[in-house]
């Protein structure tokens, strides 16, 4: 009797706005940096949708919203200040979205493995997930600095999958924005979008393969896109 290798689908998650509600600490950091420049704070709801492109992109968006145009060296310096402050307050109020851990447990029981593919710096991503006792669940945690590319470049997703994969079974991306959907499409990977993340455009309008409104629905969405999580043994005559 021989067996086929166990199918172990890889579920690759975006981090900010998908796994973890990080906007409170990110927006607070943005407004600290803006205040140092004598600029007014950005409204929370507006700043929430500035999350997703990494620290520098969020800072640039915040400066633009405040009508401030700074030369590149000044933005470089403020980005370093942003990262330093954020690192010290990375999990003050950031928490996993409701149902994350239960969904990961359910998927793991079905043979799935997990990775993170984010535009957050890798060390910040690891620090956040460590603080939330989640990092050990992921076979790879890859950020914008891990491979020198960022979403929506599909190479970051392909390399994350390669780093995390130890078997076969395919992969699926889970994200919250155009950035994630575009990345998955370019990498020819099916994509599930959560509709509670950080985006100006409703994710349903971006045509992901599935949209979910709660993590309780994630296991079924994954099953529908990558098939049965485990192969059964076969007997060869």
Catalytic positions, written as ranges: 14
Phi first, then psi, for residue 220 (nearest 5°) are -70, -40
Closest CA to 233 of 3, 74, 75: 3
Distance from C-alpha of 84 to C-alpha of 79, rounded to nearest angstrom: 9
Q: DSSP letters of 201-221?
A: S-GGGG--SEEESSGGGHHHH
The backbone region for 107, taken as left when phi is positive above 0, alpha when psi lies in -120 to 50, beta otherwise, is: alpha
Given a contact cutoff of 8 angstroms between Cβ atoms, the answer to whether 212 and 203 are in contact is: no
Helix, strand or coil for residue 146? coil
Smallest CA-to-CA distance from 172 within 4, 6, 14, 15 is with 14
> For residues 45, 92, 213 and 134, what is the CA-based torsion angle, rounded to 10 degrees?
150
H helices then E strands: how many in the chain?
9, 8
Helices (H), 132-210: 154-164, 178-186
* φ/ψ (deg, to 5) at 218: -65, -45
């Amino acid at each position: 009797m021989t067996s086929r290798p166990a199918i172990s689908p890889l579920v690759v998650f975006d981090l900010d706005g998908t796994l973890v509600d990080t906007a409170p600490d990110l927006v607070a950091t943005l407004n600290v940096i803006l205040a140092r420049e004598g600029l007014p704070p950005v409204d929370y709801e507006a700043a929430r949708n500035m999350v997703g492109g990494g620290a520098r992109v969020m800072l640039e968006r915040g400066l633009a919203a405040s009508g401030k145009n700074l030369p590149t060296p000044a933005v470089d310096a403020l980005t370093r200040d942003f990262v330093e402050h954020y690192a010290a307050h990375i999990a003050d109020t950031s928490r996993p979205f409701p149902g994350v851990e239960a969904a990961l447990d359910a998927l793991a029981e079905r043979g799935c493995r997990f990775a993170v593919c984010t535009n957050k710096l890798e060390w910040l991503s690891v620090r956040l997930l460590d603080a939330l006792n989640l990092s050990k669940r992921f076979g790879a945690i890859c950020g914008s600095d891990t491979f020198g590319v960022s979403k929506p470049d599909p190479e970051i997703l392909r390399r994350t999958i390669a780093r995390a994969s130890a078997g076969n079974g395919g992969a699926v991306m889970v994200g919250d924005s155009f950035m994630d959907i575009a990345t998955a499409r370019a990498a020819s990977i099916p994509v599930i979008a959560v509709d509670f993340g950080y985006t100006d455009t409703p994710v349903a309008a971006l045509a992901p393969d599935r949209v979910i409104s709660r993590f309780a629905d994630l296991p079924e969405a994954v099953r529908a896109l990558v098939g049965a999580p485990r192969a059964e043994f076969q007997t060869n005559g």
